[in-house]
Structure 1
Amino acid sequence: MSLDMVVVGKDQLDMLMPLILEQQYDVGKEVDLASTRTFFEGIVGQETSFQIMAVEKGAAVGLVMIDPIPNLQFADNVAYVHDVYVTESLRGVRGIGAMLVAAAFVESMRRGYEFAEGETSPDNRAARNLYSRMSKKLGIGCKEVDSVRLLVDLRPGIQRARTEPGYLDQLATPRLISRLGERPGADD
């Protein structure tokens, strides 16, 4: 089955909304469809904040959101990778979470972010291992900043892209991204 990573645009909102509603219900939030859609209409398609969804057979099956955050210790503008979500029936099956994280790092490099940051609970080893593994496979650095934050240094990938035209396009190919996440149980 073919799985595509798609940077969400306004024309994909109808495909994205059922997954957003599922994710919100999953974390125990009451959802108002109209206000949720209005919120996403306001953020989808921006240059600095973006969303990537995993699409299979015309349906969104996974999502990751990326927003800029200031982090004066490392850079003026850091890509904050958050809300990695995979539909329940596909969690831990095909590495979709890993593919979403890899796609978030690649798209962040493409947009000029020098660092990416993620947060997780101190005991969530699976998420920590996912960030570390994807960073290594993409040739970028990852370190724990404190007990809940992980900082990914995207500069090696950006530098390589400057000297190797097409490097980020090669990283972003569905075939490569699927190999990056092929270890079973990679999703959270």
Structure 2
Amino acid sequence: MSIDTVLVTHDKLDVLMPLVVEQQQDFGKKVDLAMTRAFFEGIVDRGPTFQIVAMEEGVAVGLVMVDPIPNFQFADNVAYVHDVYVTETHRGARGIGAYLMAAAFVEAMRRGYEFAEGETHPDNSPARKLYDRMAQKLGIGIKVIDSVRYLIDLRPGIDRARNEPEYLDRLASPRLFGRQTARTGADA
């Protein structure tokens, strides 16, 4: 059975949705299918953002998303390759994740991106070796940049704001982050 990669368009959303739902469930997210579909309807075929799926016999078995991120160092947008996901039954030796990432880098080059960014945990040596191997096979450069990327979970604040309507206004106050507030204790 062969795996093909396909650029996601609006006519592929029905194929994509079961994969996205699986991914969200794997990460413990309660899935709202209507909201998820509306999200993808809003980003598919829109400007520099793109998504690629790995297909096997008409079924999506993997996904990668690419968004532009502003980079002041290069004074341009950089293609940020993220959310590489392969269904559990297709993970492992088949190399679908690598195939998706390569397809994302190739499409980014087609779209004129001069740089792409991907990331992994510094201790993830298999992923780091994969990046190095892919760069060599694709004939592109790679530079390791030590950084930490944060995913901030805003849900506790949203939940609190539902019960305390003034909560977000208090958080938006410049005083919250002033030195005086830091010494005397901020509303946490």
After TM superposition, the score normalised by the length of structure 1 is 0.76
Alignment partner, residue 56 of structure 1 = 56
Structure (1/2) with the larger strand percentage: 1
Counterpart in the other structure of 1:110 = 110
- Whole-angstrom distance in 2 between the partners of 1:18 and 1:148: 31
Residue in structure 1 matched with residue 80 of structure 2 by the alignment:
80
Correspondence for 2:27: 27
Corresponding residue of 1:165: none
Structure 2 counterpart SS, 1:144: coil
The alignment covers a number of residue pairs equal to 149
Q: What is aligned with 2:42?
A: 42
User: Aligned-pair RMSD on alpha carbons?
Assistant: 1.2
User: What is the CA-CA distance between 1:93 and the residue it aligns to?
Assistant: 2.5
**Alignment correspondent of 2:119:** 119
Q: Give, in whole Å, the separation in 2 of the partners of 1:105 and 1:51.
A: 11
Q: Which residue of 1 aligns with 2:92?
A: 92
Determine helix, strand or coil for the equivalent of 1:73: coil
1:53 counterpart SS class? strand
Deviations 1:3-48 (A, max 9, x none): 1100000000000000000011111111111100000000011230
Which residue is 1:156 aligned to?
Answer: none
Q: Which has the larger radius of gyration?
A: 2
Provide the rounded CA distance (Å) in 1 between the counterparts of 2:30 and 2:126: 27
- Structure 1 stretches of 5 or more lacking a match? 150-188
**Partner in structure 2 of residue 178 of structure 1:** none
Measure, in 1, the Cα distance between the counterparts of 2:125 and 2:30.
29
Give the Cα separation in 2 of the matches to 1:148 and 1:99. 25
Give % identity. 72
CA distance in 2, matches of 1:51, 1:118: 15
Question: Using CA pairs below 8 Å that are at least 6 residues apart, which structure has the higher relative contact order?
Answer: 1
| Alignment partner, residue 168 of structure 2 | none
Pairwise CA distance, 1:148: 4.7
Greater mean alpha carbon deviation, residues 27-36 or residues 100-109: 27-36
Q: Which amino acid aligns with 1:22?
A: E
Unaligned runs of 5+ residues in structure 2 are 150-188
